[in-house]
Amino acid sequence: MADQSANARLGHHDMAKTLLVLDDEPDVAELIVTAGLRVGFVGHIATHANELLRLLDSHTPTIITLDLRIPGSDGVVVLRELAAADPTKVSQIVA
């Protein structure tokens, strides 16, 4: 029941919940994905902005978490790129 109510709160009904994590620290990324798994999300990890953008080509995430400080990029820049590319593709972005 908890998963159904979480889906309803997120505006998703009968859809697989997908979590994309952008973080250059493997331990942090794994912790976020593990927490997501416990509530029914399928998680994918990207360690670089370009990797996240490639994941978006093949996944429609429910939630994206962004590390604001990643080598070679900036989470805020990635956030702006995501919003500009297709603001309807993502329900929630957590930075």
Quick: pLDDT tens for 40-69.
Answer: 999 999 999 889 989 988 988 888 898 988
Question: How confident is residue 92, by pLDDT bands cut at 50, 70 and 90?
Answer: low
Is the confidence at residue 74, as pLDDT, over 80?
Answer: no
Question: How confident is residue 31, by pLDDT bands cut at 50, 70 and 90?
Answer: very high
User: What pLDDT score does 89 carry?
Assistant: 61
**78 vs 20, more confident:** 20
Cβ neighbours for 66, distance < 8 A, ≥ 6 positions apart:
22, 75, 78, 79, 93, 94, 95
Measured CA to CA, the distance from residue 79 to residue 89 in angstroms comes to 13
Is the confidence at residue 23, as pLDDT, over 90?
Answer: yes
Question: How confident is residue 8, by pLDDT bands cut at 50, 70 and 90?
Answer: very low
User: What pLDDT score does 10 carry?
Assistant: 44
Measured CA to CA, the distance from residue 48 to residue 64 in angstroms comes to 13
